[in-house]
Amino acid sequence: MFRNSIKLLRIGYPCRYLHQGIAYRTMFIQTQDTPNPNSLKFLPGTKVLEPGQTLDFPNIGAAQCSPLAKMIFRIEGVKAVFFGHDFVTVTKQDDDIEWKLLKPEIFATIMDFFASGLPIVTDAKPSGDTQINEDDDEIVQMIKELLDTRIRPTVQEDGGDVLFVDFKDGVLRLKMQGSCSSCPSSIVTLKNGVQNMMQFYIPEVLAVEQIDDDGEKLSEKIFKEFEQLKTKEKNE
């Protein structure tokens, strides 16, 4: 996260496809590595969502509002799907599944979908929710503005997103999505990146916590692993 790895762009499969007897232009889909080895960004070269919007599908049950996400979930080995403005992030189930086997199916699925003319989403409301509300106090407004202008764009480049949940008693709670949600380095991103930036600009933020899909704080085990990682880095 926070661009802590070198991203490699590779050209995907070019394809001149037919839909209802009409020949469409060749579609080039690029892939881009993310800091999460189990997540890969697919860039179809066309708009997926409106700028700044994202949609997270952590499982097939959450994908009923998106024909594209449902098609991708039909591919064996796919764990999660995430949409950004101009990309689709796919997360595979585990390390044993090789990208070289998954990528051709994902390329074909994305190309077939854009040839079909189906809507990417139906009745879902994409998340972009750093929108400032009338009842937000001054601190929350500053937090949302900082997230929207400085933090979310960078995290989205890594194939994920970070959403505001709440701010109470100096503790800011955030939810990581896409490639960031299951990334081994997400807790490092949260502490070394997001928390440091928040505390620099907004001293009222005393701590930043990441929550899971159930709204609960991530286990203490993860934070212990983070502290062990920091200790290891100091000793090296």
* Residue ranges making up the domain that contains 44: 30-116
Q: How far apart are CA 123 and CA 55, in angstroms?
A: 12
My answer on whether 104 and 71 are in the same domain is yes
By the 8 A CB rule, do 54 and 41 touch? no
CATH of the domain at 79: 3.30.1370.70
Residue 159 pLDDT grade (very low, low, confident, very high; cuts 50, 70, 90) = confident
Provide the number of structural domains found in the chain: 2
- pLDDT tens-place string over residues 7-44: 333 434 444 443 333 334 467 899 999 888 899 999 99
CATH of the domain at 156: 3.30.300.130
Q: What is the pLDDT of residue 8?
A: 35
Q: What is the pLDDT of residue 24?
A: 40
The average pLDDT across 46-61 equals 88
Q: What is the pLDDT of residue 152?
A: 82
Q: What is the pLDDT of residue 133?
A: 77
Top mean-pLDDT range of 90-94, 174-178, 185-189: 90-94
Q: How far apart are CA 172 and CA 80, in angstroms?
A: 26
Residue 209 lies in a domain: yes
My answer on whether 147 and 230 are in the same domain is yes
Residue 3 lies in a domain: no
Residue 217 lies in a domain: yes
Residue 57 lies in a domain: yes
Higher model confidence: residue 58 or residue 158? 58
Q: How far apart are CA 90 and CA 105, in angstroms?
A: 12
- pLDDT tens-place string over residues 78-94: 999 999 999 999 999 98
Q: What is the pLDDT of residue 100?
A: 92
- The model's pTM is 0.68
Residue 227 lies in a domain: yes
Residue 125 lies in a domain: no
Residue 13 lies in a domain: no
